[in-house]
């Protein structure tokens, strides 16, 4: 039994963002500060990855621990609700299955995939190392050399 009325639950669910979430924005800010350039929510790729590096064929998904069910036993955010379990179990299991299908689609296209969990954003130093290891060195900026005047 849900503790909210159907109308209240509908309003709560309507407010849940699917893109440009706080964790996603934090990862994008960090990547930009590190000098990486990327595309967001790239259409035409399975799952429209949150962050895509098309030239490198690398994709990053920033997953909310609850909605995507972070499998780490240390993550308190990913606990399933104890009420209305039939609904929540079906919903969350579908999310997990969809994530796996989307990641497999990218892998089949020759892409590499990194999943960053919401709770991992707290340790920015560890996240920075993980991102740099996944992406490799930044590409040199292409700068036009000024032409000498005649």
**Structural tokens at position 96:** 């997990």
Domains of the chain: 23-77+89-135 (3.40.960.10)
pLDDT, residue 37, reads 95
Condensed to tens digits (0 to 9), the pLDDT of residues 26-64 reads: 999 999 999 999 999 999 999 999 999 999 999 999 999
pLDDT, residue 20, reads 79
Query: Distance between CA 55 and CA 108 in Å, rounded?
Result: 17
Condensed to tens digits (0 to 9), the pLDDT of residues 97-140 reads: 999 999 999 999 999 999 999 999 999 999 999 999 999 998 76
* Cβ 30 vs Cβ 131: under 8 Å: yes
pLDDT, residue 145, reads 52
As a three-state string, the secondary structure of 53-71 is: ECCCCEEEEEECCCCCCCC
What pTM does this model have? Answer: 0.82
Name residues whose C-beta falls within 8 Å of residue 80's C-beta, 6 or more positions apart in sequence. Answer: 69, 88, 89, 92
pLDDT band per the 50, 70, 90 thresholds, residue 150: low
């Amino acid at each position: 039994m849900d503790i909210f009325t159907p109308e209240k639950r509908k309003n709560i669910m309507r407010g849940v963002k699917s893109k440009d979430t706080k964790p996603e924005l934090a990862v994008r800010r960090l990547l930009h500060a590190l000098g990486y350039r990327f595309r967001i929510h790239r259409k035409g790729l399975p799952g429209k990855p949150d962050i895509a590096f098309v030239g490198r064929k690398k994709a990053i998904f920033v997953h909310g621990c609850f909605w995507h069910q972070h499998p780490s036993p240390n993550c308190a955010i990913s606990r399933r609700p104890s009420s209305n379990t039939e609904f929540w179990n079906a919903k969350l299991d579908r999310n997990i299955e969809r994530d796996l299908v989307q990641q497999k689609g990218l892998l089949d296209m020759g892409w590499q995939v990194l999943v960053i969990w919401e709770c991992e954003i707290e340790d920015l130093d560890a996240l920075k190392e993980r991102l740099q290891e996944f992406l490799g060195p930044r590409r040199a900026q292409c700068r036009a050399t000024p032409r000498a005047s005649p």
